[in-house]
Structure 1
Amino acid sequence: MSTPAARIADLLEGVPTPSNPRPARYPDPAPVPPPRPDGPAVTVTVVWGDLVEVPADLHVTGHYRSVVPDAAELALDRAISGGPRPLITEHTRLGWIDAQLGQVTYFPCGTGPVRSAAVVGMGPMGTLTEPRAVQLYASLLGEAAAVGHVTTMATVLIGAGTGNLSVGQAGRALVRGFAAALASMGPPTPPPRLTEVLVVEVDRLRAEQLLLALTGAAANQPQVRIRQELREERGGLLFVPSAAVYALTALSGLARPADAAAPGGPDPPVAEQALSAVLAGFEPGIRDKVREQLARLAEVARTDLSLTVRGPTALQDGSVPVRMSVQSGTGGLRWAALTGRATVPERLVPVDTDLLRELVGRLTEPTVEDARGLPGLLSRFVVPTDFQRLLTDDATVLLELDRDTASVPWEFLTEVQQAGVERRDPLAIRTQLSRQLRTTYSRVLTEGTADGPLRALVIGDPGDPETGLQLPGARSEALAVAARLSALGVQVSLFVGAANSTRQPGVEPARRLDVLRALLCGRHDIVHYCGHSAFDVSGTGRRSGWVFADGLLTEQELALLERPPQIVVANACYTARLGSAGPAGTHAGAPDAAGRSPWGNPQAALVPSLADEFLRIGVGHYIGAAWRIPDDQAVTFAEEFYSHLFARGPGESEPTVGAAVRAARKKLYEQRAREEQEGGADRQRWSSWAAYQHYGDASEPFLTSGNPSDRQGDGGGTAS
């Protein structure tokens, strides 16, 4: 797969390099057997309305693996959730919904139109083809029919909302899947009680398109009966693109010839007067062309039309996240994307391993020249062409990564630069960009934040000064962070310096046992660590953790946490020696038999490894620096992050961790620009903003209720 002669310099100069051919596309499942016409029948009714407003015995939406609910699924989630934790969202974040294709997961409900709710698995995003959708619908109908109390089921057209299927493809899959399921229930099996399926669409034009698609698909499927009337229920909407289609259809009708006026429309003189008023502002030549094209458009049915209307960019904090999955695989990188409008099926980018390794190495603590020149190459080299258009500031970007692809410094992603177009700021500066690790374990369910003040544990400079692991800057950062959190109403436990180092007056030393006691017994919401981090390669496995003078604090000790912190921030330096935690001179992150990332140096793999350990024990958010950060910039990032984490004005929604990380990155980025104008910035200061990686759901709020000041209780914030 690799080509030793290929270099990054070759790509920058436009020299082509060999790559492996694309392997076969994601395999489709075996085709379903032909349906039997003698089985029971089901009636399908298209409903224009809001799914959760339509009465039914069972409400169902589709669910992609590891993707938190949005659109109809989010509406269903809110309808069934009575507390502060939306059930489906929380189960997704905990990894409790397997979402195998066609697998149905049920959720309890209260009172109201939604009496019973479920989601049906769609598999990983980007893999839902029409044949797989047929299997999904067959599994769904078979499951629903087996539930004794269900006579009516309400669902949406799964796969055509945030899916990669058209309305026609998804409608065809529904009919074929339902027919296959009904055929398996034929005699002598008693017919199911389920006799009607309501397919709900909130947009009026799409509801009309759906009715036509289902009617055509069921023409030769007598057991799937499509009602020809569009049923209306509460909550139906007309989105901007559909409204534009209706308006354009009406306008085109005015341009019909006088002898071909639409039945029931205005008389020709009235139509001509209205059309002339609309076109009055155009030049004569344009008016004639518009009339001509409108007359042609008048012959097109509105259900055959679709428009893409780009309105003003919505505020990113309230927009639907763009989720991208990047996984290492045979032949290169496998990508899939899920946006608010569509899912992009899987793409394979053939990648030369040597080139990617060199690129990751040069973008890890890069020189100023590399930080300027290589981000554009990163986007062109590893991002599929049709995915590059998604790298905008319209929405939060969530990257689902495996341990290999997590080594890539994705924070440098930028839009592909077009000739003559002004260079824009990197994506992670313009919007929220966060990471999620694809793992085989589930996040632990923890209690919400307790009443009273938020609690934080701050650890600074715990390394052994006798082995050269003392960090005065980490000590200063810990003190600054403790002061900032206390000022924000957080109750702080502070440990600074090793026991054999210079003591900080009034502050306990950072002994490993004392810190572990505080972690296990203190119920902290935030843990902030400033010091060295390293791999432990002295044992049989590959472990990573935080370096103390008396050893390495790892997941083995932290696994005992009953209530993991919500946020862990680690301004942790790359460590070349482990002191008593491992053999002297061991290189942090050195490759071992347990495996290593094929791309990038060990330093690039350190933060994902640490994040993996903490996410494993249930930490919701892990924020770490992938290379050394100047002391003053580490303090700036921390102070800016915590200030924005707790910033909320009257009536505003709860702050998110992703927004706070973006604000802190932006502060460092703008600081770098000022320093450059004043005489230049060194390599660390130039790209320190990109070193910070956030693992977690960028859109997840941190505070559960009220401002920090509302939760101080009688004691207020203290540093001890």
Structure 2
Amino acid sequence: MSTPAARIADLLDVVPAASNPPVRPPDPVPEKPARAAGPVLAVTVMWGDLAEVPADLHVTGHYQSVVPAAAELALDEAISAGTRRLITEHTKLGWIDAQLGKITYFPGKGGTVRSAAVVGMGPLGTLTERRAGQMYASLLGEAVALGHVSTLATVLIGSGAGNLTVHQAARALARGFAGALTALGTSAAAPRLADAVVVEVDRLRAEQLHLALSEAAARLPQLRIASGLREGTGGLVLGPSAGVYALAALTGLAERGDGPALGGVLEGFDENVRAKIREQLARLADVRRTDLALTVGRPEEVPEGAVPVRMSVQSGVGGLRWAALTGRATVPERLVPVDTDLLRELVDRLTEPSVKDARELPDLLARFVVPPDFQRLLTDDATVLLELDRDTASVPWEFLAETEQAGDDRRDPLAIRTQLSRQLRTPYSRVMTESTTEGPLRALVIGDPGDPEKGHQLPGARREALAVHDRLKSLGVEVSLFLGAANSVRQAGFEPARRLDVLRVLLCGGNHIVHYCGHSDFDPTGAGRRSGWVFADGLLTAQELTLLERPPLIVVANACYTARLGGAGGPRTGTGPGSAAAPTAAADRTPWGNPQAALVPSLADEFLRIGVGHYVGAAWRIPDDQAVTFAEQFYGHLLRGGSDEAPPTVGEAVRAARKALYRPPAGGVPEDPDAAASGQRHSAWAAYQHYGDAADPFVRSGSTTARPGGAGGG
């Protein structure tokens, strides 16, 4: 290189390729293993795109309930025709059994990928090196048993989702494959499957993979690792890898002295600084590039459709167990020790918080319960999906804030800057349901169905229901409205909200949207508590909807806890759709807070189990005007947002409605005399929780078809 004003980009010319071999001598070839007594598998490491590698069977890993991303998404797109993605839809409908080692097959549409499969990895955050070895053994054993597969193409399953390093996953692959081949024995005929290709799209990781796999298989006679890295099509050099290659090139220049290229790069530095740089580069020359790693703080541009950041948060012995799946970082499982009493108090104070608590406690929430290295994932670069269990769902995660901002120099909350949605880990299996696909959009709206003689009347809920009715009709939706109890003041032109009449429309009406404004409660009778919506003549729960063949795509419920039905003293009435709860017994409390905090997850669980795609609920009382604003913004964006190329998504609609209610906290604002009412108005945006797939597109206004909802449960 003779150009005196060389740039770092120029140094990337030394990236190894078939036409440009590396300058550094190759690593020593491991000693040959003993001859295998049984079948032998030839393994090739290839730099390229999995979907563009010819093979009889293409395989990726699959976590339970996690929609495809990265290599799995590329494979999904390769086998799917049109916009409907097979693996994604099967995941949302709960049709993929992702238990460890369980394999699900998909036919290809022709082309390079003739047949695809996903192998189960279990729940997110549970894959260890030992379990990964079992998974690989199951994969190869079944691929051999198929009889028609001669070439298998896969990726290094387990190394890109936060659990295993490249070396750990490579050891698991080598041991698992070798174990499966050993189990075949020497008496059986040689299997048709003789070649496996392990594909990596990033160049540096491909080199690391080849090195790690060669070391792992050095003493395993059942495996023969092809020497050298093969090049396919579709390979990339990602930003961190490009930086490592640039450093490797600089070290080579440093070894040869301060030539014109290095001088150009260092031009402008003080001579003492240049000497120190050359000294450190000379030290780096002794380090293999496969042992180097760089972290890029933030990509220059976030591509449309960026991989969501998925975090799993589960309650466990000793604290909260976290795991993360992201296209931008590799992070293992974490255990955060949490004092239950402190967390319970934090949940209590952030559930219908005062202005002061809403301003000061979100930062504590992130620092107290989120692992430090997970906190950097909480940015507005991509959608955030939180996979929660029934206990951790009680935490008001919508308040999450970045912890890097100090003092009063704070950014807006994460749920305002990006789409933040929840998915519920539940023992219930997602039922097989059909979506409503005929006729115009239809909606069912229910307002103020409680018994006024028990103090359950809510004038604000009536106003919200009427406003939602008018807004949906203006957007071209056919609306059925049930308003007030049979023994309440009647509204001319609308039927009263009796459970039987509402159930008839739910079961027979083919509604895409259901909107409820009123009270909710737990039913303490029977085996286990169920939750539902309060009517004058009883509680309507998902139990009454189990025979619903075509569940609504979206349920929106502005419904808050009303204390025990018929409990001592009854509930206290309020101005919003919910009410202030009467004092509750200790038995009503959840591990992390009061029943108010647990109500929305409980209701979401009830409705998601019958096949509802999305559940949007308010976790505390909302002032009447703000409840109307949220509904109008949500439905307006959902039914008229987006473009012909990119239809609106449910997550975008929730975010737009939250933004319409959000007011940035101002430091030093004195508390209003009515602190509770002030807190409701200040934090209403955070009360709305969305359970479902944030990226799920919704039917447009005037359309005659509707998509299945996202996988909220399961």
TM-score tier (shorter): 0.7 to 0.9
Cα distance change, pair 207–349 in 1 and its aligned pair in 2 (3 A): closer
Residue 565 (str. 1) matches residue 552 (str. 2): yes
Aligned partner of 1:574 in structure 2 is: 561
Aligned partner of 2:17 in structure 1 is: none
Aligned partner of 1:332 in structure 2 is: 319
Counterpart among 432, 439, 447 of residue 460 in structure 1: 447
Counterpart among 274, 292, 303 of residue 279 in structure 2: 292
Do the aligned partners of 1:316 and 1:395 also contact (CA within 8 Å) in 2?
Answer: no
In the aligned structure 1, how far is the partner of 2:431 from the partner of 2:667?
43
In the aligned structure 2, how far is the partner of 1:223 from the partner of 1:434?
46
Aligned partner of 1:434 in structure 2 is: 421
Counterpart among 695, 699, 702 of residue 698 in structure 2: 702
Aligned partner of 2:148 in structure 1 is: 149
Correspondences of 1:252-271 after superposition (within 5 Å): 252-257=251-256
Aligned partner of 1:598 in structure 2 is: 591
SS of the counterpart of 1:492? Answer: strand
**Larger displacement relative to structure 2 (618-627 or 103-112):** 103-112
In the aligned structure 2, how far is the partner of 1:196 from the partner of 1:665?
53
Do the aligned partners of 1:316 and 1:431 also contact (CA within 8 Å) in 2?
Answer: no
Offset, 1:620:
0.9
Residue 637 (str. 1) matches residue 636 (str. 2): no
Letter in 2 for 1:64: Y
Do the aligned partners of 2:64 and 2:120 also contact (CA within 8 Å) in 1?
Answer: yes
SS of the counterpart of 2:663? Answer: helix
Do the aligned partners of 2:436 and 2:511 also contact (CA within 8 Å) in 1?
Answer: no
Aligned partner of 2:93 in structure 1 is: 94
In the aligned structure 1, how far is the partner of 2:436 from the partner of 2:304?
23
Letter in 1 for 2:691: Y
In the aligned structure 1, how far is the partner of 2:426 from the partner of 2:99?
16
Aligned partner of 2:190 in structure 1 is: 191
Aligned partner of 1:513 in structure 2 is: 500
Letter in 1 for 2:142: E
Q: Could you give the per-residue CA deviations for residues 643-694 of structure 1, whole angstroms, max 9, x where no partner exists?
A: 2223444454222212221221222112877997999971211211111111
In the aligned structure 2, how far is the partner of 1:276 from the partner of 1:568?
65
Cα distance change, pair 641–429 in 1 and its aligned pair in 2 (3 A): same
Aligned partner of 1:478 in structure 2 is: 465
Cα distance change, pair 420–292 in 1 and its aligned pair in 2 (3 A): farther
Cα distance change, pair 402–420 in 1 and its aligned pair in 2 (3 A): closer
TM-score by length of 1: 0.86
Aligned partner of 2:614 in structure 1 is: 621
Q: Could you give the per-residue CA deviations for residues 259-296 of structure 1, whole angstroms, max 9, x where no partner exists?
A: xxxxxxxxxxxx82233233224343333333333343
**Larger displacement relative to structure 2 (360-369 or 313-322):** 313-322
Cα distance change, pair 44–421 in 1 and its aligned pair in 2 (3 A): farther
Cα distance change, pair 652–313 in 1 and its aligned pair in 2 (3 A): farther
Do the aligned partners of 1:321 and 1:396 also contact (CA within 8 Å) in 2?
Answer: yes
SS of the counterpart of 1:237? Answer: coil
Aligned partner of 1:358 in structure 2 is: 345
Q: Could you give the per-residue CA deviations for residues 407-436 of structure 1, whole angstroms, max 9, x where no partner exists?
A: 122222223366557223222222222111
In the aligned structure 1, how far is the partner of 2:631 from the partner of 2:56?
50
SS of the counterpart of 1:318? Answer: coil
Do the aligned partners of 1:35 and 1:183 also contact (CA within 8 Å) in 2?
Answer: no
In the aligned structure 2, how far is the partner of 1:583 from the partner of 1:539?
20
In the aligned structure 2, how far is the partner of 1:86 from the partner of 1:537?
42
Cα distance change, pair 584–543 in 1 and its aligned pair in 2 (3 A): farther
Identity of aligned residues (%): 73
Q: Could you give the per-residue CA deviations for residues 614-669 of structure 1, whole angstroms, max 9, x where no partner exists?
A: 01111111111111110001011111111222344445422221222122122211
In the aligned structure 2, how far is the partner of 1:172 from the partner of 1:519?
54
Aligned partner of 2:66 in structure 1 is: 67
SS of the counterpart of 1:189? Answer: coil
Offset, 1:567:
0.6
SS of the counterpart of 2:519? Answer: strand
In the aligned structure 1, how far is the partner of 2:103 from the partner of 2:35?
24
Offset, 1:455:
1.6
Offset, 1:611:
0.8
Cα distance change, pair 84–514 in 1 and its aligned pair in 2 (3 A): farther
In the aligned structure 2, how far is the partner of 1:602 from the partner of 1:679?
26
**Larger displacement relative to structure 2 (552-561 or 366-375):** 366-375
Cα distance change, pair 547–304 in 1 and its aligned pair in 2 (3 A): same
In the aligned structure 1, how far is the partner of 2:667 from the partner of 2:627?
17
In the aligned structure 2, how far is the partner of 1:558 from the partner of 1:80?
36
In the aligned structure 1, how far is the partner of 2:614 from the partner of 2:48?
37
Letter in 2 for 1:697: D
Cα distance change, pair 118–696 in 1 and its aligned pair in 2 (3 A): same
Q: Could you give the per-residue CA deviations for residues 197-256 of structure 1, whole angstroms, max 9, x where no partner exists?
A: 011111222222222222222221122001114332222222222223333333433333
In the aligned structure 2, how far is the partner of 1:223 from the partner of 1:524?
58
**Larger displacement relative to structure 2 (371-380 or 428-437):** 371-380
Aligned partner of 1:612 in structure 2 is: 605
Aligned partner of 1:524 in structure 2 is: 511
**Larger displacement relative to structure 2 (662-671 or 646-655):** 646-655
Do the aligned partners of 1:316 and 1:396 also contact (CA within 8 Å) in 2?
Answer: no
SS of the counterpart of 2:259? Answer: helix
SS of the counterpart of 2:320? Answer: strand
Offset, 1:297:
3.2
Letter in 1 for 2:486: A
Residue 425 (str. 1) matches residue 412 (str. 2): yes
Aligned partner of 1:654 in structure 2 is: 647
Cα distance change, pair 309–416 in 1 and its aligned pair in 2 (3 A): closer
Residue 304 (str. 1) matches residue 297 (str. 2): no
In the aligned structure 2, how far is the partner of 1:126 from the partner of 1:313?
29
**Larger displacement relative to structure 2 (70-79 or 323-332):** 323-332
Do the aligned partners of 1:313 and 1:394 also contact (CA within 8 Å) in 2?
Answer: no
In the aligned structure 1, how far is the partner of 2:565 from the partner of 2:113?
57
Q: Could you give the per-residue CA deviations for residues 337-389 of structure 1, whole angstroms, max 9, x where no partner exists?
A: 22224453332233333222222222211222222232222223222333233
Long gaps (5+) in structure 2: 1-32, 572-580, 707-714
Correspondences of 1:84-483 after superposition (within 5 Å): 84-257=83-256, 272-312=259-299, 314-315=301-302, 318-416=305-403, 419=406, 422-483=409-470
In the aligned structure 2, how far is the partner of 1:416 from the partner of 1:564?
40
Residue 685 (str. 1) matches residue 688 (str. 2): no
Offset, 1:152:
0.6
Offset, 1:332:
2.4
In the aligned structure 1, how far is the partner of 2:190 from the partner of 2:669?
76
Aligned partner of 2:524 in structure 1 is: 537
Do the aligned partners of 2:444 and 2:479 also contact (CA within 8 Å) in 1?
Answer: yes
Cα distance change, pair 460–225 in 1 and its aligned pair in 2 (3 A): same
**Larger displacement relative to structure 2 (568-577 or 684-693):** 568-577
In the aligned structure 2, how far is the partner of 1:35 from the partner of 1:477?
77
Alignment length (residue pairs): 662
Offset, 1:173:
1.8
Letter in 1 for 2:348: G
Cα distance change, pair 165–420 in 1 and its aligned pair in 2 (3 A): same
Do the aligned partners of 2:442 and 2:510 also contact (CA within 8 Å) in 1?
Answer: yes
Do the aligned partners of 1:321 and 1:340 also contact (CA within 8 Å) in 2?
Answer: yes
SS of the counterpart of 2:191? Answer: coil
Cα distance change, pair 644–675 in 1 and its aligned pair in 2 (3 A): farther
In the aligned structure 2, how far is the partner of 1:97 from the partner of 1:588?
44
Offset, 1:562:
0.7
SS of the counterpart of 1:708? Answer: coil
Letter in 1 for 2:533: W
In the aligned structure 1, how far is the partner of 2:705 from the partner of 2:228?
59
Letter in 2 for 1:550: D
Do the aligned partners of 2:430 and 2:609 also contact (CA within 8 Å) in 1?
Answer: yes
SS of the counterpart of 1:629? Answer: coil
Letter in 1 for 2:451: D
SS of the counterpart of 1:243? Answer: helix
In the aligned structure 2, how far is the partner of 1:322 from the partner of 1:667?
24
TM-score by length of 2: 0.86
SS of the counterpart of 1:535? Answer: strand
Aligned partner of 1:268 in structure 2 is: none
